[in-house]
Amino acid sequence: MKEFFSFPELINEPAARLVASGVLLMSLLSICLISLEVNFAWVVLLIMAYGFLARVSSGPKVSPLALLVTKFLVPKLNFDEKLVPGPPKRFAQSIGLIFSTFIFIFWLANLHYICILLLAVLSIFAFLESVFGYCFACKVFKILIAVGLIPETICERCAVYEY
């Protein structure tokens, strides 16, 4: 059971970028649906929140988006593998989980402008990761290690890895 709820020590960066592309698309779709007052916007929001929860809890094992990316897109698109430390990516997914949970709660509370604002922020960070490979949360993770808020033992590679 412990192995199932583990996160990979190393992540293939092209796969992470494609997952971020999926998050970007879902975020933009959600903004459109909420702006147009489409009642089933909650479905996309719930799928997005579940995806973050699945990736935080067990990596790509039960995330439909991550499975699509790792089992189909990356092999078919023949991307070169570039391995990066996993713990900062898990931290990024955790922040996405927090954002998507609050977005869903605000949608339930009919606070749609706040949803759109949070989705816009999420979209910006997903865009940076997907297009430029810039993981803002990974930078924050490294800073948290540097100031001692996250022990270096969580990710020894992160202490030397250049983001």
State the Cα–Cα distance between residues 89 and 43, nearest whole angstrom. Answer: 25
Looking at the predicted structure, is the pLDDT value of residue 74 above 80? yes
Residue 107: which pLDDT band, with cuts at 50, 70 and 90? Answer: very high
Which DSSP letter does residue 84 get?
E
| CA gap 115, 136 in Å, rounded | 21
Q: How far from chain centre, in Å, is Cα 35?
A: 23
Measuring CA to CA, how many Å separate 86 from each of 11, 94, 96, 106, 134?
A: 5, 12, 15, 30, 15
Q: What's residue 6's pLDDT? A: 83
pLDDT band (50, 70, 90) for residue 45: very high
Residue 66, pLDDT above cutoff 70: yes
Pairing, β 83-85 against β 10-12: antiparallel
